Amino acid sequence: MTTNTNNQSAGASVVAEVTRDCLLTRTRRISRVITSLYDAAIRPLGINSTQVSLLVTIAKLGGASRAEIGRANYQERSTLTRNLALLLKDGWIEELAAEGRSRPIILSEAGRKLLVTAAPAWRAAQEEAHKLLGDQGVAALIGVADNLPIHELAD
């Protein structure tokens, strides 16, 4: 019985530590709350925040390989492949003929129009998120995100 009591005590200690200090838990909570704000705003357009983010990344890169898009968007390969397949199916992006070993992906005309159409809803969500986080929270998030290193993610 003593071993079970020790395990329970150690388990409670870990739970207390994670509850008190875990950056992952807190960033995921923030992500879920903010994502839900943007998703609710743009849902009527038939797109979600993950897709908008990916479309913006592709537009910013102006024609990039899957690997380049994945690095820029901090996405691992299988998740990126799944998300790109949906954007291709909906006609919001196009995959060009191969240039060497890669096939550049670009925003389609429909994708550009969708981003313009989504802009007012995105701005409304942006304003709501800003109110929720406050000026200091927004500045902190932007500062941290802008200083993350771009690297290959493990699959």
pLDDT score of 3 more than 70 = no
> Six-digit token pair at 88?
């291709």
> Six-digit token pair at 33?
């709350």
Three-state SS for 153?
coil
Q: What is the pLDDT of residues 28-83, one digit of tens each?
A: 999 999 999 999 999 999 999 999 999 999 999 998 999 899 988 888 889 999 99
Q: What is the pLDDT of residues 90-114, one digit of tens each?
A: 999 999 987 777 789 999 999 999 9
Three-state SS for 108?
coil
Contact by Cβ (8 Å): 105, 63: yes
**Mean pLDDT on 18-22:** 88
**Residue of higher predicted confidence among 1 and 133:** 133
Phi then psi for residue 47, to 5 deg, are: -140, 160
Q: Give the lowest-confidence range in 4-8, 14-18, 44-48.
A: 4-8
Q: What is the pLDDT of residues 144-154, one digit of tens each?
A: 988 888 665 54
Q: What per-residue confidence (pLDDT) applies to 135?
A: 97
CA distance 94 to 64: 11
Long-range Cβ contacts of 34-39 (<8 Å, 24+ apart): 34/129, 34/132, 34/133, 37/125, 37/128, 37/129, 37/132, 38/122, 38/125, 38/129
Specify the pairing of strand 93-95 against strand 105-107: antiparallel
